[in-house]
Structure 1
Amino acid sequence: MGRTKLLFFSLISTLVLVVHSGDPYLFYTWNVHYATQSPLGVPQQVILINGQFPGPVINSTTNNNVVVNVFNHLDEPLLFTWNGIQQRKNSWQEGVLGTNCPIQPGTNYTFQFQVKDQIGTYYYYPTTALHRASGGYGALVVHSRSVIPIPFDRPEADYNVLVGDWYTKGQVTLKKFLDSGRSLGRPDGVLINGKHGKGDGSDEPMFTMIPGKTYRFRMCNVGMKNSINARIQGHTMKLVEIEGSHTVQNMYDSLDVHVGQCYSVLVTADQTPRDYYFVASTRFTKEVLTTTATIRYVGGKGPASPELPPAPVGWAWSLSQFRSLRWNLTASAARPNPQGSYHYGKINISRTIKLVNSASSVDGKLRYAVNGVSHTNPETPLKLAEYFGVADKVFKYDIIKDEPAADVGNKIMIAPNVINITHRDFVEIIFENHEKSVQSWHLSGYAFFAVAIEPGVWTPEKRKNYNLIDAVSRNTIQVYPGCWAAIMTPIDNPGMWNLRSSLVERHYLGQQLYISVQSAGRSVRDEYLMPESDLLCGIVKDLPKPAPYSA
């Protein structure tokens, strides 16, 4: 569909549903601006999308085609990524600097992707500069098709809960901190859906519940640095979904949601009708930052109690929570392995890659690295350099080793960090955290099996501790201090995919890499062609387009 038609539909409505002979299309037009707001009581620059912070919800259904026309009214280049959407065969739409040229100020660009064979709770956010520190994020929900049963009764309503830490200094100031070699330091507070609750009974209710009814709360940690513990005063939470996978439905008093992660819980309004607090507080920090959002029972009387339920202490509790998470193998869902038929534990591992995070100083400035390499984005996006056949002029493959040296954290090299993985390999990735803070890692383009987190150093003998039956298929995993985490995934999605720290400071200062997956036949059956409208920059800007892939 051409841009003229797209704009025509977008003028009719922010969201239009058009039924084609194939899967339906959802059209959005986004106008991205700066505005002055005070999320923590201090005026600062915030990014609004269509005048909203957080941005508008993308409500889609399995296999929908989502088209988002972004008009950049900022004074800097801009990109958005769709955190957790697998972009099957389509890393062209990933929206990170390794795959896309940014949208220049005063211009627009149209993203188009399909939520193919997915359900679940996700979010989007800006990936350029340090724009994430100014907002620009929003919920992205993929509902099950009506013909596919879900493993619980449909709730009375869905509530999106975007929670995360927040700084009162704007992204311009924070970016200067990082560029000058400084750390961001401690956040100033926590927000729920862009607001900080006063917790004194004066806040307008953010959520309402009818007595006796059950509600779905879709929670994502969209913060920059801190894990968040979420709990609801006087209520328990039934876990039903993690990042696109239905789970065994355990009950929890609270849940640790690490940076970049999303959880769905069911909450029944079975308490005395009155107000209650949704409570979110930072974890693993010396000074705990807390905020609240008011939940109001319809027809209820009385304010919420000022006594907030306490959060758990220490990371051992959090590790126990991780071990309690299980994939619901009997649930129907849009996934490549229905009814638990995909026995990942019985597939031979093709390759094991161990990744060790580290921090060090380079020329007097703080940098973060993976296996001793701190990634830097070249002017030409890696994907475009590869597609145009000029990769050797932009980056080198495999400058890190699968098994890093013991002293890998002592010295850091700054360079584009790209590893080659063979299409259709089955890969085991080990994250080792030798530092004192909790880390969080996200893999774009894939859902992986989070098979283990354990204290100490990983060795092949540790595989005996893996969950090889019902580990949750997800896209983000935490790694506790002095621990390792193991994930397993089939490399079945060709493209250039970002493996990154979800902690914004670490990501910005180089703790990321790209995985290049190229199909041997260069066929459109494996990977889509570069869109005609794709933005070009760097050394490929004026080059003739390569011959298209074969059919």
Structure 2
Amino acid sequence: MVATRLMMLLICFLAAATSGLVEAGSPTFFFTWNVTYGTISPLGIPQQGILINGQFPGPNINSTTNDNLVINVFNKLDEPFLLTWPGIQHKKNSWQDGVLGTNCPIPPGKNYTYYLQVKDQIGSYIYHPSTGFHRAAGGFGGLCIHSRSVVPVPYNRFVEDDFTLLIGDWYTRSHVELGKQLDSGKLLGKPDGVLINGKSGRLDYDSDGKGDNEPLFTMKAGKVYKYRICNVGVKTSLNFRIQGHTMKLVEMEGSHVVQNEYESLDVHVGQCFTVLVTANQDPKDYYLIASTRFTRTVITTTAIVRYSDSKGLASPDLPKAPVGWDWSLNQFRSFRWNLTASAARPNPQGSFHYGGIPINRTIRLANTAHLVNGKVRFAVNGVSYVNSETPLKFAEYYGIPEEVFKYNVISDKPADEIENVTLQPNVMDATYKAFMEIVLENRQNTMQSWILDGYAFFAVGMEPGTWNPDKRKSYNLIDAVSRYTIQVFPNCWAAILVSMDNAGMWNLRSNIWERNYLGQQLYLSVRLHKRSLRDEYNMPDNALLCGIVANMSKPTPYSLQ
């Protein structure tokens, strides 16, 4: 039995290696994940959750730069399912992105194997479902990528321990109910609570000082610990702080940063930070605190971190969260890329000189809300995205895009007033290796959070008001952080610079999942005039087929030409 399993794994690896999906010579790790429903009670109310191998949140993946990850996902739900890997750049390989524009969902009772290589990356990441409203039910987890031992990091890598903290808002309604509510034209409203690693804490102890407030983590006095903090919620920005301790920010979304000390950090939906915490306080219990930001009513949850020789309970006096989004904007401005760190850097190599690269194209994208047949829809430059039965990348690969979508249904510049909205797939052409400026304009009174799959970009500017070319004078063209998400404050704009050096079909979407679900997303098609394996991998042999390509013969594969 063992020999048979080893042979199966070997065959799986060889098939992947020959198709270019894993890199020979780099370590390969295999995972089998069973996705099921299960009863969970994170807010004390039993509800249906989505579990991976019986766990909520799902398993934490620990990997090292250049590792190959082979993840076989068995869908045991009663509906289609997909996982996506935000921030993992999938070089030349949008087939593994795990969104409906590039993958067919895994049917109930079936499985699909992802082949990922975390190449030239370090840092704290997450994975989560991308189908329907599954993200609000679970199925998410942490993905940590450690630096290779031969590559120095700008701090002592030998920390005492490495903790992953998944914080996020939570609703007690099921993902089915939440989806139906959005389909009916009603938005979700405020969350019912906030979770830390799948649990909601309270400020009291049982008579024995333990009970539900058993420590989430334990620290030894005098030691240094790495905390990886990610917002896995669906809607709400959160502020995170550790009672009595400061946090030294060392990495965010794959980049080493200038190491400032923070008493608290605003973590917007989809974002991740890595901090170092020194256990230098009196030996007792302390609270880890996550509370909502920019909400009318502040919701707070806690967890306990305990010194190993604790001599007392945590104080009920919690440090207060900041007030107002201007504080958060100033914190964004304090983030700076560490230009002296020897670690993974985004392509093109040497792009820490990004400020001197000529901009080939500027795209301005405005998010707006509309009523369509009496129901709320969200749009980008007047188009509210709808998924097609055939993934967009499949239609493009098979040479039949016109049967599924049209390119460039929106212009590079939004109208001053967007009154009408259309519902359709939204795909923009992007020239391979062009250096683009993308300006995200938030014309609403709510927080926005965006992610661009397959890329790291430079978050160079963010200000209130309306963008115009003169605003480039305010850009940080020296040490803006290379990252993959960006928040946009109410009635503000944010500008990013990105080299379109990763061929494929890539999702630019709202991290606010009700907005994503109701149309605030699009795809960038980075195409080549000459198809070559040097620039993009072929569709994998194990790809699930659906829509109009389900019964079509596969096109002639790319070659090394």
TM-score (norm 1): 0.96
Q: Alignment partner of 2:165: what SS?
A: strand
For the 8 Å contact 1:329–1:339, the answer to whether it is kept is no
Aligned to 2:445: 436
- Whether 2:379 is the aligned partner of 1:369: answer yes
Match of 2:227 among 206, 217, 226: 217
Q: Residue 3 of structure 1: CA displacement? A: 11
Q: Return the letter of the residue paired with 1:179.
A: D
For the 8 Å contact 1:329–1:340, the answer to whether it is kept is no
Aligned to 1:290: 300
% identical aligned pairs: 65
For the 8 Å contact 2:352–2:478, the answer to whether it is kept is no
Aligned to 1:417: 426
Q: Alignment partner of 2:545: what SS?
A: coil
Match of 2:187 among 170, 183, 188: 183
CA distance in 2, matches of 1:338, 1:180: 45
- Whether 2:59 is the aligned partner of 1:56: answer yes
Match of 1:107 among 107, 110, 122: 110
CA distance in 1, matches of 2:129, 2:452: 16
- Whether 2:531 is the aligned partner of 1:533: answer no
CA distance in 1, matches of 2:535, 2:451: 23
For the 8 Å contact 1:451–1:486, the answer to whether it is kept is yes
Q: Residue 338 of structure 1: CA displacement? A: 9.9
Q: Return the letter of the residue paired with 1:231.
A: R
For the 8 Å contact 2:339–2:352, the answer to whether it is kept is no
More off after superposition, 366-375 vs 197-206: 197-206
- Whether 2:205 is the aligned partner of 1:197: answer no
Q: Alignment partner of 1:83: what SS?
A: coil
The 1:146/1:208 distance shift into structure 2, 3 A limit, reads same
Q: Residue 182 of structure 1: CA displacement? A: 1.0
Q: Residue 348 of structure 1: CA displacement? A: 0.5
Q: Residue 485 of structure 1: CA displacement? A: 0.2
Aligned to 1:479: 488
Q: Alignment partner of 2:514: what SS?
A: helix
Q: How many residues align?
A: 542
Q: Residue 6 of structure 1: CA displacement? A: 3.1
- Whether 2:346 is the aligned partner of 1:342: answer no
For the 8 Å contact 2:61–2:144, the answer to whether it is kept is yes
Aligned to 1:495: 504
Match of 1:65 among 62, 68, 75: 68
For the 8 Å contact 1:330–1:340, the answer to whether it is kept is no
- 1:503-536 deviations in Å (ceiling 9; x for gaps): 0100000100000001222110000011011011
- 1:338-392 deviations in Å (ceiling 9; x for gaps): 9966310001000000000011110111111100100001000000000001100
- Whether 2:238 is the aligned partner of 1:228: answer yes
Q: Return the letter of the residue paired with 1:175.
A: G
For the 8 Å contact 2:379–2:519, the answer to whether it is kept is yes
Q: Residue 129 of structure 1: CA displacement? A: 1.2
Aligned to 1:360: 370
For the 8 Å contact 1:375–1:414, the answer to whether it is kept is yes
Q: Return the letter of the residue paired with 2:493.
A: W
Q: Residue 37 of structure 1: CA displacement? A: 1.1
- Whether 2:522 is the aligned partner of 1:513: answer yes
- 1:469-500 deviations in Å (ceiling 9; x for gaps): 00000000000011000000000000000000
The 1:480/1:336 distance shift into structure 2, 3 A limit, reads closer
- 1:438-458 deviations in Å (ceiling 9; x for gaps): 100000000000001101000
Unaligned runs of 5+ in 2: 14-21, 206-211
Aligned to 1:400: 410
Aligned to 2:18: none
For the 8 Å contact 2:436–2:499, the answer to whether it is kept is yes
Q: Residue 181 of structure 1: CA displacement? A: 1.0
CA distance in 2, matches of 1:500, 1:384: 19
The 1:371/1:62 distance shift into structure 2, 3 A limit, reads same
The 1:308/1:9 distance shift into structure 2, 3 A limit, reads farther
TM-score (norm 2): 0.95
Q: Alignment partner of 2:143: what SS?
A: strand
Q: Residue 166 of structure 1: CA displacement? A: 0.2
- 1:26-61 deviations in Å (ceiling 9; x for gaps): 110000110111100111001110010010011111
CA distance in 2, matches of 1:133, 1:282: 16
CA distance in 2, matches of 1:338, 1:209: 40
CA distance in 2, matches of 1:8, 1:48: 28
Unaligned runs of 5+ in 1: 11-18
Q: Residue 549 of structure 1: CA displacement? A: 1.1
Match of 2:89 among 83, 86, 89: 86
The 1:259/1:341 distance shift into structure 2, 3 A limit, reads closer
Q: Return the letter of the residue paired with 1:481.
A: P
Match of 2:249 among 239, 245, 250: 239
